[in-house]
Every structure is written in C-alpha cells, then in structure tokens.
Amino acid sequence: MHENKVIENFINGDPSAASALVLEYQDRIFNLCRYMLENPQDAEDAAQDTFIKAFQSRKSYSPDATFYTWLYRIAVNTCLDHKRKFTLRSLFLSDDKEAHINNIPSLAPSPEVAYATSQSMHALQNALNRLSAKLRVVIILNELEGLSYEEIAEVLDVSVGTVKSRIFRARDELRKNMKNSTEQK
C-alpha cells in the first residue's frame, strides 16, 4: 500500500495502518529515544509512548508536514518528558548510569577492538550526556538520524537558523567534551 494511503488510513483510525507505520518507523524512533535517554529500557518505554501518543493525536497530523518529522517531534517531546521524570526520580532513587552504558553489548570481532569500541562509545555517550537537551537533540537528529536542517526545524518548531546555530554549538561542545575526556585518561 502506498505510504500516503497508509497515513490516510492511520488518521482514520485503521489499526492495520497504525501497525504498518509502527513497523516502518519503530527502529528509527527507538534509536532516537536511546540516544536521548541513554537507558535502553527508558528508550523502549519512550518509543512505545511515542506511538501511543501519535495514534491518540493522529487527527492533529497535517499533510503539510512529512509524517516522520511529525512523529519525530512527538518522540523528542516524549523523551524530554521522560528525562524530566527521570530527573525527579533521581532525587529519590539512585541510578547507576555507568551500568547501563557498560551493559550495551559489543559486536566487535576481538576483545581488543571490543574494548576500544566500548571506550569510544562510552566517551561519545558521556560527551553527548554533557550537552544541554536542546543541543543534544539537534546533533542526534542531524548526525545520527540524518535529518536535514529543514526537517529538524520542523520537528523542533524553530527556524533553520536556530538549528544551524545549535548544531554548530553542539559540535563545538562535543569536540571539547571528547578532548577533555581523552586528556583525563
């Protein structure tokens, strides 16, 4: 079925169209959530919440926007909500972020490469975590998800100039964070 027809059926509440769109976008939404939330379980919850919210607000979708930018906007806002909840939870409960990062399995072919990859991913994740939410989301959407500046502007409801500025600042801060992390070793 043509994607426009699937989207039209989704808007009209067709469960099979909703399932088709979930299958089409679930990996990309999960990856976005994983990069924003760090913890795979929280990312899975946020991804599920994204699709639930999308279905609940399907009548608000406008064909003027591409479907995946509309869905990404919902995912970004859902992740920001989850982060706020996490921050409130962390006031009362301790959460070992290091354990979550170290539990990510490596697909490297040898222990040496696995260790180097793990260290690099750990350093990158830490550098990303030190970025503000506004900077982290633009770098994730651009570098990891491959969205254009225009698409990011649409997802975040900001101007293209703002996106360019945030990406420049995010890359600059990432470089500094990565450099600081390697100098500390």
Which tens digit of pLDDT belongs to each residue from 101-145?
Answer: 444 444 444 555 555 555 566 677 777 778 888 888 888 888 877
Is the confidence at residue 177, as pLDDT, over 90?
no
pTM: 0.59
- In the chain, % of residues over pLDDT 90: 18
pLDDT given at position 86:
58
pLDDT the model gives residue 32: 87
DSSP code of residue 59:
G
**In 10 A of CB 11, how many CB atoms?**
17
Question: To which residue do tokens 């992390």 refer?
Answer: 181
Give the CATH number of domain 1-95: 1.10.1740.10
DSSP letter assigned to residue 74: H
Region 69-98: what's the mean pLDDT?
69
The CATH number of 105-185 is 1.10.10.10
Q: Is 57 in contact with 50 (CB distance < 8 Å)? A: no
CB 17 within 8 A of CB 10: yes
Domain boundaries, the chain: 1-95, 105-185
Identify the helix (H) or strand (E) that includes residue 40: helix 40-56
Is the distance from CB of 52 to CB of 134 less than 8 angstroms?
no
User: In which residue are the tokens 């390697």 written?
Assistant: 182
